[in-house]
Amino acid sequence: MQSLPLKPPRSRIHAADLSADEFAAVEAALGAHRGRPGALLPILHAIQDVLGWIPPGAVALVAQDLNQTRAEVHGVVSFYHHFRSTRPGRHVVRLCRAEACQALGARALEAHAKRALGIDFHQTTADGAITLEPVYCLGNCGCGPSLLVDADELHARVTPDAFDALVRRARGNGA
């Protein structure tokens, strides 16, 4: 009598839920971190660093690989605000909400950004261009309000007009 495998082969999960690039990113993250104690968070960070989010199919693969339930992995993804379970926009704008930036006008900038984009935090504009996220310190405290575009473009003393120019540029409509 032949025994049945306890886990479905990865190729079946891949075919149903992930693109080839997503599958490759998940496999690379698993390969790099699965042997570490407490591997779940490093694996999730590695996946999001490459893909920008944690696809549902990735949750299934990670759970299978670490011998955890999907609910356990999903619980970690949904608990930490850093992890996204939906695809982000082409650009991610992180507005600083720390006290120093608030003292320098961040609340007014936040209200303007939400109105101008027509979205709230953790949402993406209808055109898929911008995802708006809060961040609780960019280390630019003396030059607030500050924001970060994508992972590498820090802006200081951002006014509503400067915000609008950054959005136009991100959308490809000039500065």
Tell which wins on pLDDT, 88 or 17. Answer: 88
- pTM for the model: 0.76
% of residues, the chain, pLDDT over 70: 90
**How far, in Å, CA of 174 to CA of 37, rounded?**
48
Are 60 and 104 in contact, with CB atoms under 8 Å apart? no
Q: In the chain, where do the E strands start and end?
A: 91-96, 123-124, 130-135, 147-149, 153-155
Q: Considering only CA atoms, which of 25, 33, 71, 75 is closest in space to residue 50?
A: 25
> The domain at 91-171 falls in which architecture?
3-Layer(aba) Sandwich (3.40)
pLDDT at 10 over 60: no
> Which pLDDT score, from 0 to 100, does residue 31 have?
95
Burial of 52 from C-beta contacts in 10 A (0-12 / 13-18 / 19+): middle
Domain boundaries, the chain: 10-79, 91-171
> The domain at 10-79 falls in which architecture?
Orthogonal Bundle (1.10)
pLDDT at 8 over 70: no
> Which pLDDT score, from 0 to 100, does residue 147 have?
96
> Which pLDDT score, from 0 to 100, does residue 3 have?
54
